[in-house]
Each structure stands twice: as C-alpha cells, then as structure tokens.
Amino acid sequence: EAQVTQNPRYLITVTGKKLTVTCSQNMNHEYMSWYRQDPGLGLRQIYYSMNVEVTDKGDVPEGYKVSRKEKRNFPLILESPSPNQTSLYFCASSTRTSGSNEQFFGPGTRLTVL
Amino acid sequence: GDSVTQMEGPVTLSEEAFLTINCTYTATGYPSLFWYVQYPGEGLQLLLKATKADDKGSNKGFEATYRKETTSFHLEKGSVQVSDSAVYFCALSVGGTYKYIFGTGTRLKVLA
C-alpha cells in the first residue's frame, strides 16, 4: 500500500530534550515536506526537500532541522524543543514533475512540549 | 507575500443542502490551486486542483473554478452528505517553486 508513515504518532516531552520525528514514504517520491498545523493558523510549511541532500526552508523553519540522506526518509529534528512547538505535525510527499502535483500526507504526529 | 484566505467556520448544513466555501488568494506569478480535505484523526487528502485560469477541478461531486480576475477558488457541492463532514483547506503552490501556502481551514458539519 502506498503510504507516508510518521513515528511517533503522539509524543509528550519536556523543554530542551532533543527529539526526532521520523517520516518515511514508499512511493519513490522526490519531494518531501514538513508542516505544522495550529488552530486558527492552518498548515504552515516548515521545511521541504526536492531530492536527496537538497532541502530548503518553508515559512516557519526556526527551531527545526531536517536531513535527507535517503530518498524515502525525511526526519524532523527539534534540537531544543520549546512549548511554542507544541503542535500537530504532518509529513507529505509527492513527485517532483511540477508544483501542481498532489501531496500525500502522513497521519500526523501530535507533539506536546511541557 | 503570497497568501490564502478562507471563510471562517464552522459551517453547519443539513443533508442535501448546497455548499459553498469561499477561498481567495494573493500570489505573484501563476500559482496552482488546491482543495484538500481532512477527516477526523487523519492526514489531508487532495480533493481537487486546478493549474491555470478558468480550469475547473472536480471530484466526488465537489467543484471549484480557478478565477484569475477575482483571485478566487471557491469550493461548491450541490448536495452535501453527512459523510462530507470534515475540515477543508484551500491551498496554492507558488509558481515556479515547491512552496505551498495553506488557508486556515473551514470545518464543515453536515446534520442528518
């Protein structure tokens, strides 16, 4: 089954404790992206990647890091989480033939930073 | 900068009612426009899209037309069902790039 998976689905942590949210897709997509969803703000793009070793900032990259060492994986790293990073996070992937391609979204990771 | 503005919800309708969710955008260049739907507890799914002016996207009885003159991409459905209850997001991809801008989402509740 074609899908985007994220782990963990739920995470409660404390301020300053480094964490990684994993994202993996099995569709051989070149493009992957991370979003956060907050009430009243919709989805905001954090980082995206056009291909292996190619990443770029979205609208809200502060406090996040990403890496793209393999085509299928695109982990989101919070080096020193803060309470304002409490949010619902989505990973997405698509082919890269144009910016009008459908994005396939993962099920989301709900992160709480105390 | 580029932006998407959606009507605020929630929108509550009776089954078989007509639905309109307004979406307007601001963009440089020629964006592609999308509607995504999010069912409770799930990720977003593409509902429909349009890539150039006057294009009409359609899927599952939903339609939206890319109106460049009014910078709009309103979502419509002639007869909603309880199963259409979800959050609907309007989005654009910035022309020539792979940056995506989403609206704030509109929650739709359909009552039997």
pLDDT digits (tens, 9 = 90+) for B45-60: 999 999 989 999 999 9
Q: pLDDT confidence of A95, banded at 50, 70, 90? A: confident
- A 10 A CB-CB count for B97 gives 14
Contacts of A50 in chain B (CB under 8 A): 98
Hunting for tokens 């964006």 — which residue is that? B31
Q: State the count of interchain CB pairs (< 8 A) between A and B.
A: 60
Q: What is the mean pLDDT of residues B34-40?
A: 94
Average pLDDT of span A89-104:
83
pLDDT band at B81 (very low <50, low <70, confident <90, very high): very high
Give the Cα separation of B12 and B15 in Å (integer): 10
pLDDT band at B95 (very low <50, low <70, confident <90, very high): low
Residue A27 has pLDDT above 90, yes or no: yes
Q: What is the pLDDT of residue A23?
A: 98
Rounded Cα distance, B73 and B64, in Å: 6
Nearest chain A residue (CA) to B2: A59
What's residue A98's pLDDT?
64
